Amino acid sequence: MNTLSSARSVAIYVGPVRSSRSASVLAHEQAKSSITEEHKTYDEIPRPNKFKFMRAFMPGGEFQNASITEYTSAMRKRYGDIYVMPGMFGRKDWVTTFNTKDIEMVFRNEGIWPRRDGLDSIVYFREHVRPDVYGEVQGLVASQNEAWGKLRSAINPIFMQPRGLRMYYEPLSNINNEFIERIKEIRDPKTLEVPEDFTDEISRLVFESLGLVAFDRQMGLIRKNRDNSDALTLFQTSRDIFRLTFKLDIQPSMWKIISTPTYRKMKRTLNDSLNVAQKMLKENQDALEKRRQAGEKINSNSMLERLMEIDPKVAVIMSLDILFAGVDATATLLSAVLLCLSKHPDKQAKLREELLSIMPTKDSLLNEENMKDMPYLRAVIKETLRYYPNGLGTMRTCQNDVILSGYRVPKGTTVLLGSNVLMKEATYYPRPDEFLPERWLRDPETGKKMQVSPFTFLPFGFGPRMCIGKRVVDLEMETTVAKLIRNFHVEFNRDASRPFKTMFVMEPAITFPFKFTDIEQ
Ligand code: HEM
């Protein structure tokens, strides 16, 4: 069955997603007309020797344990703002660029169905190992071209409109209350510090919140049901997939030639998560059916039910993608916000002042209305995304021939866009090493906002293929940070000179035993 055109599915718009077709055609024509023989050829782009590059990732090699930001920065120093990372073992060359004009050029020419390759091991699993489940619906992270366009058009209204999120304020508040109880339970009564493995607690909180969106239920992993085995499988697998895809798809790997232990682990991990997700969503469907049969009129309009309306298969795939794409990135962002506020107590006090005016009591409920009045909270989160960039940037496969830094780059080339690295450069952000949420607010004297090059602040990507979870992240981060800072004064009394490393996305490199002191009022 073609799941997306089945009779019960919502009307699906087959066309450009958000961006205008004519704008993209125009950009393509402009890009084409400006390519001349005077431009340097693709082969002239600086690059390391393929075998030397491969050896650098082997035991004893320079990049053996390097994060993606470490090895791309080392290469940038050696080759400049644009270079080729040679392909190997069935993976194509990737051009990497740190030039804002190139980044803009690639995005402006991304076409109506922007293509982001790079997760080949997941694509392979979905296409060849479990076609029985995925069939024509590969999910947003893995599909391309028209198949991606159809799916994204169907799902966009569910994720990108604020009204879709309204119903989550109350259950999210319950989850945050549970997290606060958990902090009080586990912190040392004398030092008020939480245990070293607190990042696991943060991940459980984020998993619980995203699980609410993905599976319409609270799994209980924070306190009530910490050993829930299905939930633990989903929790663990969604985190493992990221690490495995880094090893298989970003670092040189031979899995396309021979079945490596890492690929076999990936296959088991993907199968395990799929089995649990299918089981859970079947339980949801059965429970709904029972209520329907009992004469209940069901109109919860949750995100999951709206996905089910499109197709139950889309719901399974999307639920898994929410956890895979969302848990680690959001959990690390929350650790980073707490760290920034701990290391900058003046900013924390300023934020609390704002919170006290909106939340007179510690259990004041947050809603769409009062959340609008929290500009400093939003500035703190935005500045954390700049201060601790989550990864290098994103990728696009060029849909047209383009000129990047004066070189002719042919259609079909994959380009790694290193925009996140630019967020720490003084050329674009004055005083880049200072944590200054104020840079995102209007200057009280001039009334002006900082001018930022739009192609240097893209933590959620760009254009029709940008992160579909951005609004969910905003909701989750804003409600949780507000609740925590309203309840506790947070400190971190350890060295935090290198707190994160970026393998595929950023992850903690140290433990985070924060100190949580209750706020009196
Ligand atoms: C701090 C947290 C997060 C960050 C920094 C982040 C960042 C990103 C980035 C940079 C992309 C690529 C965008 C592009 O290529 O233009 C992306 C894609 C995606 N993200 Fe997120 N993300 C986060 C959380 C989430 C969450 C919570 C969800 C789910 C609710 C999610 C779902 C997705 C999906 C499904 C895609 C693929 C979209 C597509 O290809 O159409 N992300 N994210």
* 502-515 tens-digit pLDDT: 777 888 999 999 99
User: Is pLDDT at 71 greater than 70 in this prediction?
Assistant: yes
Give the Å distance between the CA of 324 and the centre of ligand 1: 10
Position 320 in a domain = yes
| Length reported for the chain | 521
Considering only residues 22 and 151, tell me which one the structure prediction assigns the higher pLDDT. Answer: 151
In a shared domain, residues 105 and 121 = no
In a shared domain, residues 33 and 137 = no
User: 402-404 and 394-397 as β-strands: parallel, antiparallel, unpaired?
Assistant: unpaired
Q: Categorize the per-residue pLDDT at 28 as very low, low, confident or very high, splitting at 50, 70 and 90.
A: low
For 409-465, the pLDDT digits (tens) are 999 999 999 999 899 899 999 999 999 999 999 988 888 888 888 899 999 999 999
Position 370 in a domain = no
Q: Please report the atom of ligand 1 found closest to the CA of residue 390.
A: 5
Position 36 in a domain = yes
CATH of the domain at 148: 1.10.630.10
Q: Using CA positions, which residue lies closest to atom 3 of ligand 1? A: 329
Percent helix, strand and coil across the chain, each to the nearest 5: 55, 5, 40
Q: What is the ipTM of this complex?
A: 0.99
In a shared domain, residues 175 and 234 = yes
Give the Å distance between the CA of 137 and the centre of ligand 1: 18
In a shared domain, residues 202 and 330 = yes
Instruction: Point out the domain boundary residue: 429, 449, 476.
Output: 429
Q: Which residues line ligand 1 (CB under 6 A)?
A: 116, 140-141, 152, 210, 321-322, 325-326, 329-330, 333, 390, 394, 459-462, 465-469, 472-473
Give the Å distance between the CA of 160 and the centre of ligand 1: 12
In a shared domain, residues 268 and 307 = yes
In a shared domain, residues 136 and 177 = yes
User: Is pLDDT at 109 greater than 80 in this prediction?
Assistant: yes
Largest CA distance in the chain: 74
Position 450 in a domain = no
Domain boundaries, position 172: 117-335+461-520
Assess contact for 305 and 216: CB atoms under 8 A. Answer: yes
Q: Categorize the per-residue pLDDT at 7 as very low, low, confident or very high, splitting at 50, 70 and 90.
A: very low
Structure tokens at 159: 């994720």
* Total number of domains constituting the chain: 2
What's phi and psi for 282, nearest 5 deg? Answer: -65, -40
Q: Using CA positions, which residue lies closest to atom 24 of ligand 1? A: 326
Q: Is 467 annotated as a binding residue?
A: yes
Q: Categorize the per-residue pLDDT at 491 as very low, low, confident or very high, splitting at 50, 70 and 90.
A: very high
In a shared domain, residues 505 and 401 = no
pLDDT value of residue 130? 94
Position 195 in a domain = yes
Q: Categorize the per-residue pLDDT at 294 as very low, low, confident or very high, splitting at 50, 70 and 90.
A: confident
Position 383 in a domain = no
Q: Categorize the per-residue pLDDT at 70 as very low, low, confident or very high, splitting at 50, 70 and 90.
A: confident
Q: Please report the atom of ligand 1 found closest to the CA of residue 465.
A: 41
pLDDT value of residue 227? 95
CATH of the domain at 88: 3.30.43.20
Q: Using CA positions, which residue lies closest to atom 38 of ligand 1? A: 467
Give the Å distance between the CA of 468 and the centre of ligand 1: 6
Whole-angstrom distance, CA of residue 107 vs CA of residue 114: 8
CB-count exposure of residue 471 (10 Å: 0-12, 13-18, 19+):
middle
In a shared domain, residues 56 and 122 = no
In a shared domain, residues 204 and 287 = yes
Give the Å distance between the CA of 460 and the centre of ligand 1: 6
